[in-house]
Amino acid sequence: VHGETALCPGFMAKLYAPQETVRYRDLTFTGTDKEYFDTVAKSSTLYVSKLNPEATEDILYALFSTVGEVSNVILGVNRVTGKPCGFAFVVYLRRAAAERAMALLNKRNVLGQRILLDFDFGYVEGRERGRGVNGGQAVADFEEAVLQLGWRSAVDAEKTRSAPTAAMDGAT
C-alpha cells in the first residue's frame, strides 16, 4: 500500500465520512425541528459562510465542482445594496457530492478567507438576500457589535435583547 493511507489506516474512510452536525437551523423553514433535521439529512445543498465578498458564482462553481456535479450556485447578496455579502448556497445533484465537499472543502482558504460549510435544507427563492439589520448577514451584525463593544459587552447585549421581560413572563 502506498501514500498517506499506508501511514494512517482508515484515513480515506474518515476523510469521506459524512458530517452529521448541523450548526444552524434556518427559521424560514416552516416545519418542526424533526422535519428540518430530517430534510437536512437528505439534502444535497450546502450553505457556505465566511466568503470573501470578491467571490463570484463562477469561482465557487469551479471550486465546488471539483468534488461532484453542481447543479446551482447562488451567491448571497445584501438585500439593500445588492452586493455580495459573504455567503452562498451550493446545490449538488447528489448528497454524496455534498458530503465530499463538506469533508474536503470545509475550512479551506478561498480568496484569503477560511470558508465554513454546513448542510442546508435547500435553497428557496429569496434566501439569497441577507436578513441582517443593514441588509447583509445577521451574524455580521453580531460580529460588528463584538468589534465595537468588546466580546463580553456584545454577549451581554445579546442576552439582554433575547431575554424574556417580566411582562412577557406574566410576572407583575
Q: pTM surpassing 0.75?
A: no
Residue 98 pLDDT exceeds 80: yes
**HSE of 34, CA atoms in CB hemisphere, 13 A:** 0
What is the enclosing helix (H) or strand (E) of 166? helix 166-169
Residue 121 above 90 pLDDT? no
Using only the alpha carbons of the chain, give its radius of gyration: 19
Poorest-confidence range of 2-16, 22-36, 83-97?
A: 2-16
Percentage of the chain beyond pLDDT 90 is: 36
Q: Return d(Cα 95, Cα 42) in angstroms, integer.
A: 7
Instruction: Pick the more confident residue, 38 or 165.
Output: 38
In terms of Cα–Cα distance, which of 73, 51, 76, 54 is closest to 64? 73
- For residue 83, give the nearest of 151, 140, 13, 164 by alpha carbon: 140
Mean pLDDT value of segment 100-123: 93
Q: Please say if the pLDDT value at position 1 is more than 60.
A: no
Q: Summarize the chain as % helix, strand, coil (round to 5).
A: 40, 20, 45
The fraction of the chain above a pLDDT of 70, given in percent, is 58
Q: Do the bridges between strand 116-120 and strand 84-92 make them parallel or antiparallel, or are there none, so unpaired?
A: unpaired
CA distance 78 to 160: 27
What tens digit of pLDDT does each residue of 140-149 get? 544 555 556 6
Higher-pLDDT residue of 88, 10: 88
The whole-number pLDDT of residue 36 equals 83
